[in-house]
Structure 1
Amino acid sequence: MRTRGAILLANIITGLVLGFTVANIGYGDYAELNRMFTFQSMRMFYSFAGAVVIIVCAFAVLRVPRTPGRIHAGVVPGAVLFGTGWAISGGCPAIPITQVAGGYLPALVTIAGITVGIRLCRWTNARYFHLDRGSCGL
């Protein structure tokens, strides 16, 4: 049986490898993200498509059960907010950490925005929508 410490260590190592890879292939660069969102470069889109193909194959090989059903009520508005924030800030929740680690300090504003957004989502959800806790991310 796995211990919490072993799982935590595996997560830390995996995160460091992912962060190193993302930083070194240029995906933490705002200009690269801008080229993707303005369709000047398809490089990141192809990378995302490749990642989807890999995970679909891995799920098929591992026989991960699929739970069919309705789309969660927060998926569409959440996706719109996520995409808008990503386009404006140049980073999804992981990229600003990579940017700060690379010395790009303005990414701290993005991290603050992510933190405020998650807290605002949780407050709004608790007050008005009462969806499950996982609907607000982190």
Structure 2
Amino acid sequence: MHTRGGILMANVIAGLALGFVVANIGFGDYAQLNRMFTFQDLRMFYAFAGAVAIIVVVFAVVGVRRTRGRIHAGVVPGAVLFGTGWAISGGCPAIPIIQVASGYLPALVTIAGVAVGIWLCRWANAKFFRLDRGSCGL
């Protein structure tokens, strides 16, 4: 039987390991991410492709299946906003945390932007769209 403390410790260790790996392969470096998005250096792109290939294999082994039905209404605009924000700020929501931990304090602006974006999404969803609760991320 697992204890809450043991699960928490496993999550902390896994998070630290992931942060260490992500920082060391360059995902916390804005210049490297910029080179990826402008196709000047494909190393980061290949890292993404490798991660996607691994998860496809894992999903196949575990038996994860796509649910039937239409794509959620927020997927396409959310993907466009996510990609645009990532290209501008140099990080998806997790990367600025790694950047701050690495001493790059301007990433705090990105973290604030993520928080404001989630708040705006929830506000717009409640006022205009009324999509399911998970539509705005965190």
Q: TM-score, structure 1 length as denominator?
A: 0.93
Q: Secondary structure at the match of 2:40?
A: coil
CA shift for structure 1 position 2: 4.1
SS at match of 1:41: coil
> How far does residue 10 in structure 1 lie from its aligned partner after superposition?
2.5
What is residue 84 of structure 2 aligned with on the other side? 84
Instruction: Give unpaired runs (5+ residues) of structure 2.
Output: none
The residue type equivalent to 2:61 in the other structure is V
Is 2:89 the partner of 1:96?
Answer: no
- The residue aligned with 1:28 is 28
Paired residue secondary structure (2:19) = helix
Report what 1:61 is aligned to: 61
Quote the sequence identity (%): 80
| 1:3 Cα offset (Å) | 4.4
State the alpha-carbon separation in 1 of the partners of residues 2 and 121 from structure 2.
33
**Which residue is equivalent to 1:50?**
50
Question: Would you say how many aligned residue pairs link Structure 1 and Structure 2?
Answer: 138
Deviation at 1:44, TM superposition (A): 1.2
For 2:123 and 2:80, locate their aligned partners in 1 and report how far apart those are by CA, in whole Å.
19
Give the partner amino acid of 1:100.
V
Q: How far did residue 66 of structure 1 move?
A: 2.5
Q: Distance in 2 between matches of 1:82 and 1:89?
A: 10
Structure 1 residue 65, shift from structure 2 partner: 3.1
**Consecutive unaligned residues in structure 1, runs of 5 or more:** none
Aligned residues: CA RMSD: 1.3
Separation in structure 2 between the aligned mates of residue 58 and residue 8 of structure 1, nearest angstrom: 24
